[in-house]
């Protein structure tokens, strides 16, 4: 079973640099990076939302994948109606079998540490049901 959740950072869309700097600092601690996606076909996979770019990270050791993108796209469409949310973090926590299994509480702690590292307030926007397609 996978757990997929969308979290919203209560900030401005203009807070990108500060947000990404804090996430970069979090990942540097573990000798990891956050990647910026500008590839046209990957950006098109996010349609109907049109983004100039988004960010992602896969921590295989923790079996947690994240994406970070603005709540409002370049055409002014908001993915989530909460206008206090400037940026969204999508998280996919995987329950893999051995030898890749990571206890769920360890994954949750990692994710909460990641969210807290930004020093921004955040809310849960949407938690997907098991097997539900991503919005």
pLDDT band per the 50, 70, 90 thresholds, residue 1: low
Q: Would residue 11 count as lying in a domain?
A: yes
Query: Do the Cβ atoms of 101 and 95 come closer than 8 Å?
Result: yes
Q: Find the mean pLDDT for residues 29-41.
A: 95
pLDDT value of residue 133: 87
Residue 58 belongs to a domain:
yes
Asked if residue 52 is part of any domain, the answer here is yes
Rounded Cα distance between 135 and 28, Å, is 30
Alpha helices in 35-103 (DSSP H): 40-44
Contact 51, 124 (CB under 8 A): no
pLDDT of 96 > 80? The answer is no
- Tell me if 69 is assigned to some domain: yes
133 within domain boundaries: no
Q: C-alpha distances in angstroms, 129 versus 48, 69, 75, 126?
A: 22, 22, 29, 10
CATH code assigned at 35: 3.30.310
Residue 132 lies in a domain: no
Residue 81 lies in a domain: yes
Host domain of residue 38: 2-127
Least Cα distance to 122 among 10, 14, 21 occurs for 10
pLDDT at 86 over 80: yes
Q: Taking the model in full, what pTM does it have?
A: 0.94
H helix or E strand, kind and range, residue 23: helix 16-28
Provide the domain count of the chain: 1
Those residues whose C-beta lies under 8 Å from the C-beta of residue 31, and which sit 6 or more positions away, are none
Mean pLDDT of 15-38: 96
* Domain-embedded: residue 66: yes
């Amino acid at each position: 079973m996978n757990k997929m959740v969308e979290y919203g950072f209560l900030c401005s869309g203009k807070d990108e640099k500060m947000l990404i700097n804090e996430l970069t600092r979090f990942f540097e601690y573990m000798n990891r990076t956050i990647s910026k996606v500008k590839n046209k076909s990957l950006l098109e996979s996010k349609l109907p939302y049109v983004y100039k770019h988004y960010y992602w990270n896969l921590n295989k050791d923790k079996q947690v994948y994240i994406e970070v993108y603005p709540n409002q796209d370049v055409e002014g469409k908001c993915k989530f109606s909460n206008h206090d949310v400037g940026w969204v973090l999508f998280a996919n926590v995987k329950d893999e079998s051995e030898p890749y299994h990571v206890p769920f509480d360890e994954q949750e702690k990692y994710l909460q540490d990641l969210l807290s590292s930004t020093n921004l307030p955040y809310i849960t926007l949407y938690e997907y049901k098991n097997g539900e397609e991503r919005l």
